[in-house]
Structure 1
Amino acid sequence: MKRNSFIEGAMITTIGIVICKIIGLIYVIPFYGIIGSQGGALYGYAYSIYAIFLNLSSSGIPVAISRVVSEYNTLKYYYTKERTYKIGTYIIMGLGLTFFILLMLFAKPIASSILGDLQGGNTIEGVSFVIRIISTTLLIVPLLSVTKGYLQGHKIMAPSSISNILEQVVRVSIIVGGSFIALKVFNSSLEEAVGIAVFGATIGALVAFLYLFYKIQKNKDKLNKDEPMTRSEVQITTKDIIKKIIFYALPFVVIDLAQSAFYMVDTFTVVNTMVKLGFGNIAETTIGTITTWASKLNMIVISISTGIIISLIPNIASSYVKKDMTDVSKKINQALQILLFAILPMTIGLHFLATPTWVLFYSYDIVSISIFKIFIFQALSFSIYMLLIDIFQTMNDTKIALGTLFGSFFGKLLLNIPMMHLCKLIGIDVYYGPSMTTLLVHMVAIIFLFYKLKTKYKINYQEMRYNALKTILCVLIMVIVLKILNIFLTIDAPTRIEAFIKVGIYSFVGALVYITVAYSSRLIHHIFGENIVKMVISKIPFVKKKIKLD
Structure 2
Amino acid sequence: MSENSDQGSTQSAASDAQRQMVNGSAWMTAGSILSRILGAIYIIPWGIWFGSLFFQGNALFAKGYNIYSFFLIAAIAGIPSAIAKQVAHYNALNEYGVGVRLYKRGLVLAAITGIVCALVLYFGAPLFSGGDENVIPVLHSLAWAVLIIPTMSLTRGYFQGYQQMAPSAISQFVEQLARVIYMLITAFVIMRVMHGNWVTAVSQSTFAAFIGALGGLLVLGVYYWRRRDEFRGLVANSNNEIIVPASQLYREILQQSVPFIVLGAGITIFQLIDQFTFFKIMKMAGDYSQVYLNDLFAMFAANANKLIMITVSLSSALAVTAVPLLSEAYTKNNKHEISRQITNVFLMFEFVMIPSALGMAAIAQPLNIVFYGAQQAGLATQILEFSSYISIILGLFTVTSAIMQGISQNKRAVKYFVVGTIVKFIVQYPAVYFLGSFGTLVATGIGLIVANYLIIRSLNNQFGLDYHAISDDTNRVLIFALMTFVLAWLMTKLLVSFTGWIGLGNGKIINLVIVAIATGLGGYSYVYLALRSRLADRVMGPRMGRIRTMLKIK
8 A contact 2:300–2:437 mirrored in 1: no
Could you tell me which residue of structure 2 aligns to residue 376 of structure 1?
Answer: 388
The separation in 2 between residues aligned to 1:486 and 1:238, in whole angstroms, is 60
Superposition deviation, residue 431 in structure 1: 1.4
SS of 2:133's partner is helix
The separation in 1 between residues aligned to 2:484 and 2:241, in whole angstroms, is 62
Q: Provide the TM-score with structure 1 as the length reference.
A: 0.83
Superposition deviation, residue 10 in structure 1: 4.6
The answer to whether 1:148 aligns with 2:153 is: no
Could you tell me which residue of structure 1 aligns to residue 288 of structure 2?
Answer: 279
- State the percentage of identical aligned residues: 23
5+ residue gaps, structure 1: 116-123, 424-429
Deviates more, 1:45-54 or 1:141-150: 141-150
8 A contact 2:84–2:324 mirrored in 1: no
One-letter code aligned to 1:33: I
8 A contact 1:343–1:380 mirrored in 2: yes
Pick the aligned partner of 2:428 from 390, 407, 416. 416
One-letter code aligned to 2:297: I
The answer to whether 1:63 aligns with 2:78 is: no
The answer to whether 1:31 aligns with 2:39 is: no
8 A contact 1:478–1:513 mirrored in 2: yes
The separation in 2 between residues aligned to 1:312 and 1:210, in whole angstroms, is 26
Deviations 1:20-61 (A, max 9, x none): 222222212212223311000111111111111111111222
SS of 2:437's partner is helix
The separation in 2 between residues aligned to 1:483 and 1:10, in whole angstroms, is 29
8 A contact 1:259–1:405 mirrored in 2: no
One-letter code aligned to 1:368: A
Deviates more, 1:333-342 or 1:491-500: 333-342
Using a 3 Å threshold, how does the CA distance of structure 1 residues 404 and 487 change in structure 2: closer, same or farther? Answer: closer
Could you tell me which residue of structure 2 aligns to residue 445 of structure 1?
Answer: 451
The answer to whether 1:508 aligns with 2:526 is: no
Deviates more, 1:393-402 or 1:357-366: 393-402
SS of 1:125's partner is coil
The answer to whether 1:494 aligns with 2:506 is: yes
The separation in 1 between residues aligned to 2:367 and 2:492, in whole angstroms, is 15
Superposition deviation, residue 183 in structure 1: 0.9
One-letter code aligned to 1:89: L
* Residues 162-311 of structure 1 aligned to structure 2 (within 5 Å): 162-213=170-221, 216=224, 222-224=230-232, 237-277=245-285, 278-280=287-289, 281-311=291-321
Deviations 1:398-457 (A, max 9, x none): 34311221112222223212211233xxxxxx1111011111222233333343334443
Superposition deviation, residue 343 in structure 1: 2.3
The separation in 2 between residues aligned to 1:135 and 1:264, in whole angstroms, is 18
Deviations 1:446-503 (A, max 9, x none): 3333433344433242333333333333334334444554675335631111101111
The separation in 2 between residues aligned to 1:149 and 1:463, in whole angstroms, is 32
The separation in 1 between residues aligned to 2:347 and 2:49, in whole angstroms, is 41
Using a 3 Å threshold, how does the CA distance of structure 1 residues 524 and 272 change in structure 2: closer, same or farther? Answer: same
Pick the aligned partner of 1:14 from 20, 29, 33. 29
SS of 1:140's partner is helix
The separation in 2 between residues aligned to 1:274 and 1:140, in whole angstroms, is 38
Deviations 1:211-250 (A, max 9, x none): 444554566555549x99x9x8997543233223223323
Deviations 1:235-293 (A, max 9, x none): 75432332232233233223224443222111111122223323334211222233322
SS of 1:376's partner is helix
One-letter code aligned to 2:550: K
The separation in 2 between residues aligned to 1:363 and 1:287, in whole angstroms, is 16
The separation in 2 between residues aligned to 1:271 and 1:470, in whole angstroms, is 42
Superposition deviation, residue 307 in structure 1: 3.4
Alpha-carbon RMSD across the aligned residues, in angstroms, is 3.4
The answer to whether 1:89 aligns with 2:99 is: no
Could you tell me which residue of structure 2 aligns to residue 352 of structure 1?
Answer: 362
Using a 3 Å threshold, how does the CA distance of structure 1 residues 523 and 336 change in structure 2: closer, same or farther? Answer: farther
Superposition deviation, residue 319 in structure 1: 5.4
SS of 1:489's partner is helix
5+ residue gaps, structure 2: 1-18
